[in-house]
Chains A and B, each alone.
Chain A
Amino acid sequence: MSGDLFSYVYQFADVFAFLVLSAAGLAIIFGMMGIINMAHGEFIMCGVYVTSATYHMGLPLVLAQACGTAAAGLVGVVLEYLVIRPLYARPLDSLLVTLGVSLIATQGTLVILGSTFPGIGTPLGSFDVGVYTFSTYRMVLFAAAIGVLGFVYVLFMRTGFGVQARATMQNAAMARALGVPTSRIYALSFGIGAALAGLCGALYAPTMNLIPTMGAGFIVEAFVTVVVGGASVLLGTAPAAAVLAIIRSGLNAWYGQVIGQIGLLIAVILIVRVLPSGFSGWLARRSAS
């Protein structure tokens, strides 16, 4: 394969991985509960910070990343119990509450840990194709994104939890009547969503500067992917990420990151407008078929 062609594929894979990893947790929580978690970026930040802290305490990177993932998941379960649970029926209010949590988390971290935190060097070095040099770790991230999609598939399609979760998603009242512990399903889903956000942070920890406001760097991509993809990770997030990654990697290559982001946003707003009978109609038709 020529270096140029591989370069395009690599760019695409890089953006695709970023979109899937940053949106998966958000999409699971939205899909299960209709809630958009505005503190999503802070769960990612939590994953990054815990990964870095445990790594510098001497854990191997992979274990440190597992710690980051688990920590975000635990925080998610606690948060669900404290502030999300009273607001199941009020999705707009849960948007506000999680926005409040996001403020508390970023600014609280700034107060407690200051504005910088020791980072982690990117592992695994690089490889060459043609005249270009590529980061091996980015390929690991792509593999991880595929792994997350596989995990979500197995979790929702092949486990008892998945059966109960899908029943709750379809009709919570009916599921409750049939003995599904919907509160526990919600708590677990929120925890899994938060853990996936933490995993995203853990995976990207070795590639970034650690600042408490870093979550904001993920959420635009996570939001637009969920806006296009809707409630389902497998049938929504993954194809949305693929389409958006083509747009984004093209724009990145020619115009740079920031224009890439703005272009992505404009593309999403245009996509949503041209969908026949608007966005909600498209979503409804999709879920009906």
Chain B
Amino acid sequence: MFQRLNGPQTLGNGRGFWIGALAVFAVAVAFPAVADPYDVGNFAYFLIWIFMALGLCLMWGYGGMLSFGQTFFFGLGGYGYGVIEINIGAAHGGSLAALVLAVSVAALAAAILGYFMIYGRIGGVFFGIVTLSTTLALAAFVGQTAGPEWTVGTARLNGFNGMQGMSSLQLPWFGRDIDLEESALYYFLLVLLAATYVGLRLLVNSRFGNVLVAIREDPQRAELLGYDVRRYQLVTFVIGSLLAGLSGALYTAWGQFITPSSIGLPAAAMPIVWVAFAGRSDLTATFVGTFVLLFAFQTITIYSEQSALVLMGLLLVATVLFAPRGLMVGVGQSLARYSARRGG
């Protein structure tokens, strides 16, 4: 099992790395004991976004598919959670069911959209603009649902004012429900995220992952080795997009609120900035880099959100021009070389 977590597709395969990772996890577990509840809630908020960043990393860095559609699936997951939860209620596992169903909706949408794009052989820059168009169209659609006629069951979409009234996640626990808020939510997210990270590492270092990077390098060669390239791409697109749907559903559950501004531009650009800056070729780099950027972004947003977004734009331009492989990956590779020199 441990063997299969490691391989050529990931940085950080040694014992030192995993001891460090466990230490970070232990600190994260201990964090709510020492921090005030506001900070815990805030860190929970950061964790929510990392799912979609990891999904983009998988599609773009490993599979070579640059999707601008993460916020589309985020929106489907987010609105999906709200609509379903409001209609079925939170009790008796209802909110968890809403979470699972909302993510399934996002996955289904990804399968349909992905099928048409991948089997229609839309590649390269066109993959980017079709996915972005989809996102913008969804944002435009939700934006005009302010009227009372836009109600699904008992859930009112409410246009730009945002949808509200859904409840937070409730975990059924021996006959009673644990309300997942504050540190309970934080722990739930921490475990889910750790599991996702481990799962993705297993995936990219598996046979599937080998084929995926082969397709990224040369799709024709991969096909001529007998691999059904488009099916691999479609599965990857669904997994990556599903994680964005998960981010969206968790976001709505966290804040009990969602508006179209989480779907359109500039929201659509954010996952791209995180993953490009962090380094799309590695899951760990994406994880760490996304966390750092979210933290920095929020710190600056306190003064001015627009300025923070301008800085994100500058960061993207600078990354592409001066460190096209990403900053965190560069740091990670230097660390790997350093430890290899010391070890060998």
**Chain A interface residues (CB < 8 Å from chain B):** 30, 34-36, 38, 83, 86-87, 90-93, 95-97, 99-104, 106-108, 110-111, 213, 216, 219-220, 223-224, 226-227, 258-259, 261-262, 265, 268-270, 272-273, 275, 278-281
Point out the residues of chain B lying under 8 angstroms from A275, CB to CB: 120
Can you list, as one digit per residue, whether each of B97-132 has a CB less than 8 Å from chain A (1) or not (0)? Answer: 000000000000000010011011111111011101
Name B140's contact: one of A108, A261, A273 (CB within 8 Å).
A261
Residues of B near A279 (CB, < 8 A) are 120-122, 126
With A265-B133, A269-B116, A273-B120: A99-B316 Cβ-Cβ less than 8 Å: yes
Indicate which residue in B66, B136, B141, B317 contacts A100 across the interface (CB closer than 8 Å).
B317
For B66, the chain A residues whose CB sits under 8 A away are 92, 95
Complex contact B136–A216 (CB within 8 A): yes
In the complex, given contacts A102-B313, A258-B140, A258-B141, what are 5 additional A-B residue pairs having Cβ atoms less than 8 angstroms apart? A36-B126, A91-B125, A103-B310, A104-B313, A227-B122
Q: Return the contact of B316 from the options A36, A100, A108, A111 (Cβ within 8 A).
A: A100
Question: B265 is contacted by which of A216, A227, A268 (Cβ under 8 Å)?
Answer: A216
Known: A111-B307, A279-B120. A97 touches B317 (CB 8 A): yes
Asked if B125 contacts A36 (CB within 8 A), the reply is yes
Is the Cβ of A220 less than 8 Å from the Cβ of B136?
A: yes
* Contact of B276 with A106 in the complex, beta carbons under 8 Å: no
Main SS class of interface, B? helix
Q: Is the CB of B113 within 8 A of A103?
A: no
Q: What are 22 residue pairs bridging A and B, where the CB atoms are less than 8 Å apart in the complex?
A: A83-B321, A91-B125, A95-B66, A97-B317, A99-B269, A99-B272, A100-B316, A101-B313, A102-B265, A103-B309, A103-B310, A107-B309, A111-B310, A213-B265, A219-B136, A223-B132, A223-B133, A262-B140, A270-B116, A273-B119, A275-B120, A279-B122
A96 and B272 contact, CB distance less than 8 A? yes
Assembled-state Cα–Cα distance A111/B130 (Å): 29
State whether the Cβ of B198 lies closer than 8 Å to any Cβ in chain A.
Answer: no
Determine if B320 is an interface residue (Cβ-Cβ < 8 Å): yes
Chain A CB within 8 A of B134 CB: yes
